Amino acid sequence: MYKNKEKKGGTIFFCQNCGYESAKWSGQCPACREWNTFAEEPAAPKTKGGSSRRSAREVREPVTLKGIEADSEGRISTGMSELDQVLGGGIVPGSLVLVGGDPGIGKSTLLLQVCRNLAERLDSILYISGEESLQQIKLRAVRIGEFSDAMTLLCETNLDDIESIVLKKKPQAVIIDSIQTMYQENVSSAPGSVSQVREATGVLMRLAKENNITIFIVGHVTKEGTVAGPRVLEHMVDTVLYFEGDRYASYRILRSVKNRFGSTNEIGVFEMTDKGLREVSNPSEYMLSGKPEGASGSVVACTMEGTRPMLLEVQALVCRTNFGLPRRTAAGTDYNRLNLLMAVLEKRLNLPLSGYDAYVNIAGGVRLSEPAMDLALVLAVISSYKDVPVSDKTIVFGEVGLSGEVRAVSMAKQRVQEAKRLGFTKVILPKSSMDQVKDIKGIELIGVSAVWDAMKCL
C-alpha cells in the first residue's frame, strides 16, 4: 500500500483535517470520516545521517515516578487575568501552546501584548514573525504601549535558522507567527502544507521540551481550505486556544479546547480597542449592557462557560406568518433545538405556533449550545407570543424535555450567586435543583417542574 512512498519523486495524500496519510486518494478519510479533505503532496525523501544525529544527542535513562520533581507553583503569569484563567493559572515552562482563529481576529495583537507583559517578568522573549516585517510589528507595538528591551524581534521563515537562533539565545518564551509560514528545506512541499506544518511543529515541540522554553504557535484557517488548519496540530501541542468572535465586532472570546495543565472549557473575554485588547473582567455586565426595559420577548439567562457563570439576554420575536410555511430563524443557538422547543410548546401548552414566524437571537453575538438555555428560550417565545414582558430583575435557566418537563442543570448554585451579585431579585430554575440553592438568602427562588409552571410566572 505504501510502495509509492519509497519511489523517488512519488506523492502522498494527506487529510487536511486530521493529518492521516495514504498512498492513494480517497473521497472520505478513513480516520476522521470527513469528506473531500485529501490533498496531494510530494513524498519527503529519506534523510541520511539520522543515526549520527541521535548519537550526538544525550541519551536519557528511564527514571521512576518518585524520582521526578513536579513543581505545581512553577507557572508564570501573563499579566492578563483572563488569559491566565484560560491557561489554567498561567504559562507552564516548556509547554507548546497553539492559538488558532480566523485571519484578522486579533491573534497577533494578543500575543504581542503577552510579550509586553512577559518582558517585564522574564529575561528574554523572542517574537518570530513570518508574515509581517519589523516595521509593521513596530507600528502595532506603538499603539499597545512601551516595551522592555528583554523582548527581541526576528523575521524568519526557515526553521533550521530559527532552531539555531533559539538554541543560541535561549529565550524563556518564543512566539511563532504563524506556523503556516514556516518551512524546512528537507521537506519538498510548500510552506503551509500538511507536511511542512507537521514537521515544523515537531521541531518546535522538541525545542520546547528539551530546553524548557514556552512556545506559542499561531495558526489560522483560510476559507478556501488550501492551508492546513490548526486541527492538524491539536494532537501534538499541549494547549489549544481558539480566538472566536466577529472580526467586525468589538468583543473577542478566547476559548480553551485542550489543556494538559488545566480545565478544557474556560473562556476569556476581551474587547478590541485602538490600543489593543482590553480584558472584560465582568462579561455578564458587558453582555447585558443596552438591554431594553419592559420589552416582551426579552429574557435574561445564565449559562456556564467552564467554571464561570455568564448572564446573557435571549431575545425572541413571534409574529403571524404571511405565508403558508412559518419561518424560523435562530442566531446564536441551534436552529433544530428551537424547532424542537416550539413543538413542545404547541403540543403541551396548546399554543398555535404553527401559524407564526419565530426569530430568536442571543444578544451580543455569542453562540451557545448548553441545554440550560432551553427554559429561557421557551419563556422568551411565550413572552413575545402573549406580548407579556418578563421582569428585568429575573433570570431563567433549565433544560426542557419533550414531555414539557424542566430538568436539573449543573452548577445551579454558581448561577444563582452570579445573579444575586449583579442585583437580580428573582430566579426561575428547575424544581429538582432547589436543594442546591436553598442556603442562598436575599433572592427569590421559584422552582418549576414543567413548562406550564414556568408560563404561570409571566
Domain containing residue 419:
286-456
Q: Is 148 within a domain? A: yes
Instruction: Provide the edge-to-edge strand list for the sheet that holds 96-101.
Output: 151-155, 125-129, 173-177, 214-220, 96-101, 239-244, 251-259, 267-273, 276-279
- Whether residues 176 and 314 share a domain: the answer is no
Task: Assess if residue 55 is contained within a domain.
Answer: no
Cβ-Cβ contacts under 8 Å for 61 (sequence gap 6 or more): none
Q: What is the CA radius of gyration of the chain?
A: 26
Alpha carbons within 13 angstroms on the beta-carbon side of residue 428 total 31
Distance CA 198, CA 207 (A): 14
Q: 108 and 240: one domain?
A: yes
Considering the domain architecture, whether residues 266 and 293 belong to the same structural domain is answered as: no
Question: From start to end of 19-79, where are the E strands?
Answer: 21-22, 38-42
Q: Is 107 annotated as a binding residue?
A: yes
In this structure, the answer to whether residues 329 and 433 fall within a common structural domain is yes
- Is there a single domain that holds both residue 241 and residue 311? no
**219, 253, 281 — which closes off a domain?**
281
Instruction: Give dist(CA 71, CA 79) in Å, integer.
Output: 21
If asked whether residues 299 and 234 sit together in one domain, one would say no
**Residue 57: is it exposed, middle or buried by C-beta count within 10 angstroms (0-12/13-18/19+)?**
exposed
pLDDT in tens, the chain (458 residues): 434 444 445 788 878 777 788 888 888 988 888 888 888 877 655 554 444 444 445 677 888 888 777 665 578 999 999 999 899 889 999 999 999 888 888 899 999 999 999 999 899 999 999 989 999 999 999 989 889 899 999 999 999 999 999 999 999 999 999 898 998 888 877 787 777 888 899 999 999 999 999 999 998 765 543 445 556 778 889 999 988 877 667 788 888 888 998 887 788 889 888 888 999 888 888 788 878 888 999 999 999 887 788 899 999 999 999 888 899 999 989 999 999 999 999 999 999 999 999 999 998 777 888 999 999 999 999 999 999 999 999 999 999 999 999 999 999 999 999 999 999 999 999 999 999 998 899 999 999 999 999 998 87
Q: Is 403 annotated as a binding residue?
A: no
Q: Is residue 321 part of a domain?
A: yes
Q: What is the CATH number of the domain that holds 412?
A: 3.30.230.10
pLDDT at 420: 92
Is 292 annotated in some ligand binding site? no
Q: Count the domains in the chain.
A: 3
Do 363 and 440 reside in the same domain of the chain?
A: yes
Is position 423 within any domain?
Answer: yes
* Burial grade of 431 (CB within 10 A; 0-12, 13-18, 19 or more): middle
pLDDT at 223: 54
Within-domain flag for 245: yes
pLDDT of 54 = 45
Say yes or no: 305 and 261 in one domain.
no
Among residues 361, 330, 366, which one has the least CA distance to residue 246?
366
The domain that contains 260 carries what CATH number?
3.40.50.300
Is the same domain home to 128 and 245? yes
Indicate whether 65 belongs to any domain.
Answer: no
Would the annotation count 50 as a binding residue?
A: no
* Bridging pattern class, strands 406-407 and 399-400: antiparallel
449 carries a ligand binding annotation: no
pLDDT of residue 53: 46
State the cell numbers at 343.
413543538
- 8 Å CB contact between 147 and 113: no
Buried-exposed string 19-33: b where 16+ CB fall within 10 A, e elsewhere: bbbbbeeeeebeeee
DSSP, residue by residue, 9-23: T-EEEEETTT--EES
Q: Are residues 364 and 382 in the same domain?
A: yes
Beta carbons within 8 Å of 421's beta carbon, 6+ residues apart:
none
pLDDT for the residue 71: 64
- Residue finishing a domain among 256, 281, 306: 281
Q: What are phi and psi of 353, to 5 degrees?
A: -80, -10
**Gap between the Cα atoms of 180 and 184, Å rounded:** 12
Beta strands in 56-191 (DSSP E): 96-101, 125-129, 151-155, 173-177
Q: Tell whether 48 is covered by a domain.
A: no
| H helix intervals, 266-327 | 283-288
Q: Kindly give, in sequence order, each residue whose CB lies less than 8 Å from that of residue 46, ignoring residues fewer than 6 positions away.
A: none
Provide the grid cell at 400: 426542557
106 is in an annotated binding site: yes
> Which pLDDT value is given to residue 356?
94
Which residues have C-beta within 8 Å of that of residue 23, sequence separation ≥ 6? 1, 2, 3, 4, 5, 12, 13
Encoded amino acid at 73, one letter = E
For β-strands 394-396 and 298-305, DSSP reports them as: parallel
In a domain, 69, yes or no: no
In 3D space, the residue among 164, 169, 203 whose CA is nearest the CA of residue 187 turns out to be 203
Q: Do 268 and 127 lie in a common domain?
A: yes
Identify the residue whose cell numbers are 488558532.
Answer: 100
Q: Which of residues 236, 260, 281 is at a domain's end?
A: 281
Residues 352, 270 share a domain? no
* CA-based max dimension of the chain: 79
